[in-house]
Structure 1
Amino acid sequence: MASKPVKLVIKPRGRTIKKLPDETTTYLQGSTADLYQRIAAESGISVHRLRLTKGSDGSHVPNAKDFTVERTGLRSDSVVYVKDLGPQIAWRTVFIIEYLGPLLIHPLFYFLRPYLYKHAPAEPSYLQFLSCVMLTLHFAKREFETVFVHRFSSATMPARNIFKNSAHYWALGGANIAYWIYSPTAPTAAPSNPLITYLAIALFVVGELGNLNTHYVLRNLRSTGGTERGIPRGLGFDLVTCPNYMFEALAWIGIWLASWSLSTGLFVVVAVGQMALWAKKKERRYRNEFGDKYQKKRFAMLPGLF
């Protein structure tokens, strides 16, 4: 039950917020999400643009329904710094835009081959067909998960980041891979080796299905619209912290074996490297957040390797 209201001193950090009040009131037993909503309403800007930090130690005040103001250590007359993060864009929108690029680029290159390359045969090779199918299915699955599966802990991100994030997928995963693998001189234009091709398909299928299963496990840890976290369990979680990244890597190795292209290999190296950093960060967060309740993992992403 809410206790007596307390006064917090509000100060700006960074860019000016014209209507930012000098102080606000809240309840210690109230949620920090309510505090964010109150300051946003008083300031006249979107709550998603705000970042609150404690004046005493600079620690972040989370925007969470299940996190009380008292838990942050704020008390009456405590100073709270408010930062305007600038224009924001929804994470779901970001993901849709990112994956849309390669989802369109690969079929376009595949079907426009005779017009894009000199001396390109009318019919693509089997490996070019297989590569196009794999890549299209992969990014179509990503779009499906974005719309129907993922539940995001953060609603938005800075709008300016959409260009950086999209460049990775549109340029590196889309145009750069597509230009080389659909060329009549590419390794994919040569006859396929059945053993390597079957291995590529097997890795791709196992990787994609395992990744999808992991995303459903992670989805079920969070209620609709909630930001709560839980300890995931299930296929792959006994081996590594982030089996979704492990299965993603398997799927991309399958795509690389099918295309046998340096451009695909470059994307795999960059993507796996980035996922490895995310996996290490998530392992640290699980240990800090759940303590002894969490079974610490020796490997964050790839068993025996990382």
Structure 2
Amino acid sequence: MALDSVTLQVKPRGKPIKRLPKEAYLSSSSTTEELYKKLSGAAGCSIYRLRVTNASDGSFIPNSKDTTIEAAGCKDGGVVNVKDLGPQIDWRTVFVIEYAGPLIIHPLIFYIAYPYIYPHTSSFSISSLLPSSSHRPPPPSSLQHLSMVLVLLHFVKRELETLFVHKFSSATMPVFNIFKNSGHYWGLSGLVLAYFTCAPFARISTPNLEASPVNNVFTYFGLLLFVLGELLNFNTHLSLSSLRPRDNPTKRAVPKGLGFDWVTCPNYLFEVLAWVGIWMVNRNWSTGLFLLVAIVQMFFWAKKKERRLRKEFPGEYKKKRYTIVPGLF
């Protein structure tokens, strides 16, 4: 064989992979993408189901057209472990499904299920479940309707960004994860948020727009925060998308633009700003709960991104003390 040829010993990690070859023959200048294609072709499965690592140190070998076998630490006679990640689903499809939850549930509760799930009666009976005039609850207030519109606008924006703006470094994710990920959006920002912000008893904290001048100031400031947060969030997503070539979205670069000098993830900062605006409009505990859970999750994502950026661009990336909100976390 050629002097620069590399023979890799291939071993499955975890459950056995049918037809996985015991050896892979490449050249040191071959890309890791070629390695993945050889392994997936021989095993007869999608290239995205496989995760390849170096057996010597456990380092991940990416599926990349820009990384050579040699650069990935694969040497002649070395051993690579191959793990079957199971059935996969496209990341773009995942986000579309996740964000569809609130877009379906909020109008469903406000306009269809409302008289059935909020029976206005002092005692329970079968007749109380029917939307008759005697049992029909009072209609949602103007602020409750406004809150729903803001939530819908937020998730419509997310859907459009998913379809036309975002570029994903990973093509797929395990199918099972879609149920776990969708729980946050279909459950918390969908069912819980819609049910408690639309409820007749929520009118105590969410009156009509005309309730008082103080109420109006609070509401209009919330609207201002929402619009500002959504526009700045969209601008950040455009900046992040521009860093990745469309023909090679796995390629990374140092994020730049408005907010990146303040925190690691300004898109998360502006997301928080928009949801604070929604909370100022509906003043409901369910919105606060969703925001709190989202902040915790985004904090862990942001810390992970900060570590990755420091590792990948040690001389170019400017380290950040705060990942989401300047002065806090």
Task: State the TM-score, normalized to the length of structure 2.
Answer: 0.89
Q: In structure 2, what is the Cα distance between the partners aligned to 1:15 and 1:246?
A: 41
Residues 82, 249 of structure 1: CA spacing in aligned structure 2 closer, same or farther, 3 A cutoff?
same
Task: Give 2:194's aligned residue.
Answer: 178
Q: Which runs of 5+ in 1 are unaligned?
A: none
Counterpart in the other structure of 1:260: 283
Summarize the alignment of residues 218-237 of structure 1 with structure 2, pairs less than 5 Å apart.
218-226=240-248, 227-237=250-260
Q: What is the aligned partner in structure 1 of residue 161 from structure 2?
A: 145
Q: What SS is found at the alignment partner of 1:271?
A: helix
In 2, are the aligned partners of 1:10 and 1:80 still within 8 Å (CA)? yes
- Is the contact between residue 9 and residue 24 of structure 2 (CA under 8 Å) also seen in structure 1? yes
Give the letter for the 1:41 counterpart.
G
Task: Decide which of 213, 221, 234 is 1:212's aligned counterpart.
Answer: 234
The equivalent of 2:119 in structure 1 is 118
1:304 counterpart residue number? 327
Question: 1:132 aligned to 2:148?
Answer: yes
1:57: how far off?
A: 1.4
* CA–CA distance in structure 2, aligned partners of residues 252 and 15 of structure 1: 43
Structure 2 gap ranges (5+): 121-135, 210-214
**Residue 70 of structure 2 aligns to a residue in which SS?**
helix
Output one character per residue of 1:32-79: Cα deviation in whole Å (capped at 9) or x when no partner. Answer: 111111111111111100011112112111111111111111111111
| Alpha-carbon distance, 1:121 to partner | 5.3
Distance 1:115 1:84 in 2: 47
**Amino acid in the other structure paired with 2:89:** I
Report which stretch shifted further, 165-174 or 105-114. Answer: 105-114
Partner of 1:72: 72
Q: Could you tell me how far 1:92 is from its partner in structure 2?
A: 0.7
Q: Is the 8 A contact 1:91 1:156 kept in 2?
A: yes
Map 1:13-92 onto structure 2 (within 5 A).
13-92=13-92
| Distance in 2 (alpha carbons) for counterparts of 1:3 and 1:201 | 67
CA contact 2:8–2:23 (8 Å) conserved in 1: yes
Q: How does 1:162-201 map to 2 (within 5 A)?
A: 162-187=178-203, 189-192=206-209, 193-201=215-223
Q: Supply the AA of the counterpart residue of 2:53.
A: T
Between stretches 59-68 and 160-169, larger displacement belongs to 59-68
Off by >6 Å, runs of 4+ in structure 1: none
CA RMSD of aligned residues (A): 1.5
Separation in 2 of the partners of 1:123 and 1:11? 64
Aligned-residue identity in percent: 55
Give 1:118 shift: 2.4
Distance 1:34 1:203 in 2: 48
**Alpha-carbon spacing, 1:3–1:129, altered in 2? closer, same or farther (3 Å):** farther
Letter in 2 for 1:149: V
Shift of residue 124 of structure 1? 2.8
Greater alpha carbon shift after TM alignment, 225-234 vs 162-171: 225-234
State the alpha-carbon separation in 2 of the partners of residues 288 and 6 from structure 1: 28
Residue 191 of structure 1, CA deviation = 2.9
- Matched letter for residue 272 of structure 2: A
167-176 or 123-132: bigger deviation: 123-132
Number of residue pairs aligned between Structure 1 and Structure 2: 305
Alignment pair present for 1:294 and 2:317 = yes
Q: Structure 1 CA distance, aligned partners of 2:6 and 2:25?
A: 5
- Paired with 1:218 and 1:297, the residues of 2 have a C-alpha distance of 17
Contact persistence 1:114–1:122 (CA under 8 A): no
Cα distance, 1:3 vs structure 2: 7.5
**Paired amino acid for 1:127:** L
Task: State how far apart, in whole Å, the 2-side matches of 1:55 and 1:122 are.
Answer: 65
Deviations 1:108-138 (A, max 9, x none): 1121323432245564311111101100000
Q: Which residue type is aligned with residue 281 of structure 1? A: K
- Equivalent residue for 1:160, pick from 163, 176, 189: 176
